Structure formats: C-alpha cells, structure tokens
C-alpha cells in the first residue's frame, strides 16, 4: 500500500521530509512466554502472579495483527527487539526455528513498507548468561557479539537501523541501586563492571555492524533526563544538577564516543533536586509537589524534551527512540503527544537534527516490575481476551503523521499549563476534602 499523501495545511508545524513516525516495543514486554530469560525465573520467585509477564500481549503469535494496526495508523517506522534467550537458549546452541520466527516478523514489517529499527539487547538475558554473572562478567561481551554475528547474518536484509543496547543507565539503576530487577548482586564494583562491559559490548558490536552493513546506521537508546534545581539560588542543588546530568546523560556517550551514527534518546524524566535535612539534596517527589504527573508518578514536563535535545545535539542525527506516558486517561495522552511533539518541533527549528519519533508504546504491555497496570499504549490491550482497541490518541498521532507535523486544529491543545493548573486544583480540593474528614489527633 502506498504511503498516505501528505495533507497540506499552511498552519501546520511541519517536520522535516522523510521524518520517521512510529512506536516502540521490546520483545520481553509484548511477546509472552519468554521462559528462557533471566526475568522469567526471577518473576516466578519474586513477584506475585499479577506482576508476572506470563503471556504478556501474546505478540509472539499476534504480530501480524499488531503490524496491521501500525499500517492502519499510518506509522512509517517501528522499533522492536529480538529476544536473545529465545535464539540462544543454551550456550552456543542457536535455535533455528526462533531465527525463522524473527525473519517472518521482520519480513512482514518490510512487506508493509515500514522502516525497521531493531534493538539487539533490551534488558533481558538468557538464563545461562545471567548464571555466569550477566554483564558483570567480561565473557558476556563476547557471547553477545557472537549472538549478534549469528543472528544479523540472516536478519540484516530486513533491518534499517540497529540499536545495540537499550538504556544501560536504567538497567544499572534498577538492578544495583533500586534492586528491583533480576541479577542484582548489590556491589558497587559490579555496577562499574557492568557499565564498562556494556560500553565495550556496544563498541564491539558497533564496529562489527558498521563494517559488515555500512549502509545501516547504528546507535543505542539512552535514557536521557532533564534536571533542574528546586530553588534557583541553591548552590548545592545546582552542583547536583551538573553532576547528575553528566552521569545520567553524558557519561555513557563519553565511554562510547565515536561509535554512534545517531543518538537514540528515550525521554521520560524531569528531575528536580531539592535541599533536604541531609547533606545531599533529595529528588522532589513530583506527586507531593503537586506537579502534573503520569499514572507512574513521573512529572509531565514537555519543555524538558527541548532541553535535552538542544543539550545533546552535536552534529549527528537524533532519533527519539522512546517517549510516552502511562495513563488510563486518553485525553492526557492526546495532550502529551501534541505538547511533546511541539517541543521536538521547536528543537528542530532551533537547529537540532531530529529525524524520527517513536512513541512508547504501540500497545499496552508488561512494564517490568510494575506489571501490567501502567498503560502506555496507543492501542489498549484487554488482558482478559488479548483484544486490541485503538485509543483515540492513536488517531491524533495518525493525524500528525498524515500532516507530517502538528496541524493547526491540534495546536489549541497546547494549553498544557491550563491542564496542569486544572490537575493541581483538583488535587488540592481532594487534599482539603480528606483533611476535613481526618480525625484530629492533637
Ligand atoms: C525502559 C524501557 C522500556 C520501558 C519504558 C517505560 O526505559 O525501561 O526502554 O522498556 O517500558 O521506558 O518505562
């Protein structure tokens, strides 16, 4: 099917021609039954049944249906990942039927003329890799490289962009600092080794792919956060911003400099440092601060996207490889899409070379240790029946794609400050109501 004709509207905020518009997923979060992954065992031991991935969205079997939705929604690109633990369930034993499966998956996207951005590692490890210490063990670098060489040999014709690894910083934070993810050994040395080994793995795989498939750009997806002080004048808060910005946003790029054909940016977080009774400032709890927040308590802060884009822009193309909101209120997703994309537009106008946007996520899915409660999807999944329902926000996104920009008719939604004020007012009223009903303990 030919791509839809671009609609003309003089008041549209136009994006560059051939901009990539799509959504992102990862294998473990949507496929279901990834029984050979470290996450699978960890869930059975540590999570209540409601927080286990189980059959997830059953995309392993329903990929054609989901890709038909992508087409119906006019996306011209899609980001997805392959599951290492399916392809190499035991050391050195590659499962050809699983490679066949992914070939079918990728071919079906190509048949629909969708550009494919493929992530080679998105958080989960085969159990046998995790048993030798996962990314803490240097051997994992070579195992990963061998897996990449084996699988890309077959799938490369159906891939347009490679993402080597997804969010090393989040992986380390969740595994070692929060200890909410599998594989945590809790040691600081382990954290450092993991970071360095992930950087080496990226570089090795970059060099191999670059040499073997010179026409397919390679990057990684990095979780980039916008940091701010709570009090403008506080020096301690300002130092925290500089330090956090370096560690979270720049350190990994620094460790892997020279091995990125593009920057892949996942943007979700706006963080405010606030002086506390302790020596180090705390991170403001956005819900307690009466900020506008998502269902996960993450602050809605579109301007932060502009800030990180302009901050990181250094002459190589940028793809926003993830950006999305967990919300059961789809009006909020509409506003999210328009306001965040408006910031992307502003960044492009100011000279940042942004070439694509992948909303997280195409369908509701398994949000790791948070289970299925958070709803990120453009498409709703009814987990009882696995039925898919297109949300109205998905159509707003389709409208934007059809215009290759934000049409005037949608711009009126940009009054997000009004929205934030409304949310705030509602919460304050709720607080007051609760206070009135609370017994007085004094
Ligand atoms: C991550 C991932 C995704 C998440 C998404 C929403 O950042 O953890 O890349 O797997 O589901 O970011 O939290």
Q: Place 10 in a pLDDT band, splitting at 50, 70 and 90.
A: low
**Tokens 């949000």 identify what position?**
367
Helix or strand holding residue 392 (H, E): helix 392-403
Q: Of all atoms in ligand 1, which is nearest to the CA of residue 368?
A: 11
Whether residue 440 is predicted with pLDDT greater than 60 in this model: the reply is no
Radius of gyration of the chain measured on its C-alpha atoms: 22
Give the confidence band of 3 by pLDDT, cuts at 50, 70, 90: low
pLDDT at 273 over 60: yes
What count of Cα atoms within 13 Å lies in the side-chain half-sphere of residue 246? 5
> Do the Cβ atoms of 369 and 28 come closer than 8 Å?
no
Burial string for 98-124 (b: 16+ CB within 10 Å, else e) reads: bbebbeebbebbeebebbbbbbbbbbb
Pairwise CA distance, residues 354 & 288, whole Å: 34
Mutation test of ligand 1: which of 37, 171, 266 has the most ligand atoms closer than 8 Å to its C-beta? 266
More confident: 185 or 308: 308
pLDDT band with cut points at 50, 70 and 90 for residue 277: confident
* pLDDT of 211 strictly over 90: yes
* Predicted local distance difference test score (pLDDT) of residue 14: 96
Ligand 1 neighbour 26 (Cβ under 6 A): yes
Across the chain, mean pLDDT equals: 92
Q: What percentage of residues in the chain have a pLDDT greater than 70?
A: 90
Q: Check residue 421 and give its pLDDT.
A: 43
Please give the Cα distance from 149 to 84 (Å, whole number): 12
Helix (H) or strand (E) holding 70: helix 59-72
Q: How far is the CA of 361 from the centre of ligand 1 (A)?
A: 9
Residue 345 pLDDT level (bands cut at 50, 70, 90): very high
Is the confidence at residue 422, as pLDDT, over 80?
no
pLDDT band at 108 (very low <50, low <70, confident <90, very high): very high
The reply to whether ligand 1 has any atom less than 6 angstroms from the CB of 166 is yes
* Residue closest to 209 by CA, chosen among 130, 138, 262: 262
- Distance from Cα 436 to the centre of ligand 1, integer Å: 39
Ligand 1 centre to CA of 266 (Å) is 8
Measured CA to CA, the distance from residue 372 to residue 52 in angstroms comes to 9
Model confidence at 439, in pLDDT bands (50, 70, 90)?
A: very low
Q: What is the pTM of this model?
A: 0.91
How does pLDDT run across 366-407, given as a tens digit for each residue? Answer: 999 999 999 999 999 999 999 999 999 999 999 999 999 998
Average pLDDT over residues 37-47: 97
Q: Which one, of 328, 320, 299, lies nearest residue 416 by Cα?
A: 299
Band the pLDDT of 431: cuts 50, 70, 90: low
Cα distances from 321 to residues 26, 58, 384, 404, in angstroms, run: 12, 23, 30, 18
Q: Is the CB of 117 under 6 A from ligand 1?
A: no
Q: Whose CA is closest to atom 11 on ligand 1?
A: 367
* Closest C-alpha residue for ligand 1 atom 13: 367
Mean pLDDT across the stretch 143-166?
Answer: 98
Q: Which domains does the chain have, with CATH numbers?
A: 17-410 (3.20.20.80)
Q: Indicate whether 415 pLDDT > 70.
A: no
CA distance 45 to 43: 5
Question: Is the CB of 360 inside a 6 Å radius of any atom of ligand 1?
Answer: yes
* pLDDT at residue 413, as a whole number: 64
Q: What are phi and psi of 271, to 5 degrees?
A: -120, 130
pLDDT class for 442, splitting at 50, 70, 90? very low
pLDDT of residue 420: 46
Phi then psi for residue 224, to 5 deg, are -115, 130
């Amino acid at each position: 099917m030919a791509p839809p004709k671009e609609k003309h509207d003089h008041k549209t905020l136009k994006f560059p021609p051939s901009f990539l518009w799509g959504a992102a997923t990862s294998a473990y979060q949507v496929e279901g039954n990834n029984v050979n992954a470290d996450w699978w065992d960890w869930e059975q031991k540590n999570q209540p049944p409601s927080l286990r991935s189980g059959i997830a969205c059953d995309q392993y079997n329903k990929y054609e249906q989901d890709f038909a939705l992508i087409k119906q929604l006019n996306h011209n690109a899609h980001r997805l990942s392959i599951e290492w633990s399916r392809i190499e369930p035991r050391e050195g034993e590659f499962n050809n039927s699983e490679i066949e499966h992914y070939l079918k998956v990728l071919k079906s996207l190509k048949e629909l003329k969708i550009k494919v951005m493929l992530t080679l590692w998105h958080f989960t490890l085969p159990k046998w890799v995790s048993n030798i210490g996962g990314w803490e063990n240097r051997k994992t670098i070579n195992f990963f490289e061998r897996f990449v060489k084996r699988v890309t040999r077959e799938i490369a014709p159906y891939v347009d962009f490679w993402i080597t690894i997804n969010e090393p910083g989040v992986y380390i934070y969740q595994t070692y600092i929060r200890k909410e993810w599998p594989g945590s050994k809790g040691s600081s040395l382990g954290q450092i080794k993991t970071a360095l080994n992930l950087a080496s793995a990226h570089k090795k795989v970059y060099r191999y792919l670059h040499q073997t498939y010179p026409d397919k750009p390679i990057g990684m997806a990095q979780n980039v956060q916008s940091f701010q002080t709570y009090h403008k004048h506080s020096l301690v808060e300002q130092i925290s911003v500089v330090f956090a910005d370096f560690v979270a946003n720049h350190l990994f790029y620094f460790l892997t400099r020279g091995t990125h054909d593009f920057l892949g940016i996942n943007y979700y977080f706006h963080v405010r440092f606030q002086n506390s009774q302790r020596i180090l400032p705390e991170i403001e709890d956005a819900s307690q601060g009466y900020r506008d927040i998502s269902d996960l308590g993450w602050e809605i802060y579109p301007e932060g996207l502009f800030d990180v884009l302009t901050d990181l822009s250094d002459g190589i193309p940028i793809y926003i490889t993830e950006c999305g909101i967990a919300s059961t209120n789809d009006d909020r997703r509409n506003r999210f899409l328009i306001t965040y994309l408006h910031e992307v537009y502003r960044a492009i106008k100011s000279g940042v070379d942004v070439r694509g946007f992948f909303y997280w996520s195409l369908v509701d899915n398994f949000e790791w240790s948070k289970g299925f409660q958070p709803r990120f999807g453009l498409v709703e999944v009814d987990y009882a029946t696995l039925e898919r329902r297109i949300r109205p926000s998905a159509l707003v996104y389709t409208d934007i794609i059809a215009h290759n920009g934000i049409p005037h008719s949608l711009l009126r939604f940009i009054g997000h400050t009004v929205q934030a004020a409304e949310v705030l007012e509602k919460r304050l009223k709720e607080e007051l109501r609760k206070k009135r009903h609370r017994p007085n303990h004094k």
